[in-house]
Amino acid sequence: MANSKYEYVKQYELDDSLLPGCWIVVRIDGKGFTKFSELHGFEKPNDKRALDLMDECAKEVLNEFPDVRLAYGESDEYSFVLGRSTDMYGRRASKIVSLLVSCFTANYVSKWAAFLPGTPLRSTPMFDGRAVCYPLNSNLRDYLSWRQADTHINNQYNTCFWALVKSGKTPTEAQATLRGTQTAQKNELLFNEFGINYAHLPEQFKKGSVVIRRKTMVEVKRREDGTPVLRERNLPTVLYTDIIRDEFWSEHAHLLAP
């Protein structure tokens, strides 16, 4: 039977290529992770094991896709930045988003046991994904600043909330205590009532995770006498650093290069 009779259906596949010359940001987010984290007994408000697993999956995305320049993650989400001039998969949104999501999710499952030993995976982790285009460098920086400010706000609130709940308050009482409080008041509450100095909490919790490629010495083989042979490689590396300030961008100027 001649296949040409059916070929017209291809016309229904619409072009979904992302605007040329713009930064592409793909943000992925865990589906129903409030429930997922309960089910797996994640430490509240931050479980380092789960965050490290997220960071490792993001590194694998950078390993797999050279066009991803930078990633930023917090909680159950990660944003991946592709260069303005990338031609990865003809900039087709569905192709890029679906591949990044499946790369991340597959790694999340395969690396789970290494990061949460003794905690069986009891449900299927899933991530949604979307691609957004940003025309200006300043838009991209504002986007990333928005996510990092969100990390800080959420972390500070959640640290207070769970300290109050762990001390015996009900969730409703804890919410009422925190309603309308400013940053300084939350820090005071943590220090005065729980002896927690917010500034001393892990940077990963306060700032989220930034993944960039960095020159790293790695062992490529061993000589017969057992001494290691080291070579420089550009490897994805996780940093817990401030990406709102200018210093990060001047220190890593190549990230914003065309």
Please report, in range form, the residues annotated as the binding site for Mg(2+): 29-30, 76
* Contact positions with ligand GTP (CB under 6 A) in 134-173: none
Q: Kindly write out the interface string for residues 215-254 of this chain, putting x where it contacts ligand GTP by CB under 6 A and - elsewhere.
A: ----------------------------------------
The least distance separating ligand GTP from the CB of residue 121, rounded to whole angstroms, comes to: 15
Nearest to Mg ion of 30, 83 (CB atom): 30
Q: Do the Cβ atoms of 28 and 78 come closer than 8 Å?
A: yes
Burial class (CB in 10 A: 0-12, 13-18, 19+), 197: exposed
Q: Kindly write out the interface string for residues 14-53 of this chain, putting x where it contacts ligand GTP by CB under 6 A and - elsewhere.
A: ---------------xxxxxx--x----xxxxxx--xx--
Q: Does 29 bind Mg ion (CB under 5 A)?
A: yes
DSSP structure string for 79-123: EEEE-TT--GGGGBHHHHHHHHHHHHHHHHHHHHHHHSTT----S
Q: Residues at the annotated binding site for GTP?
A: 75-76
Burial class (CB in 10 A: 0-12, 13-18, 19+), 147: buried
- The Cα 139–Cα 126 span in angstroms is 28
Size of the site for ligand GTP (CB under 6 A): 17
Which residues would be at the binding site for Mg ion (CB under 5 A)? 29-30, 33, 76
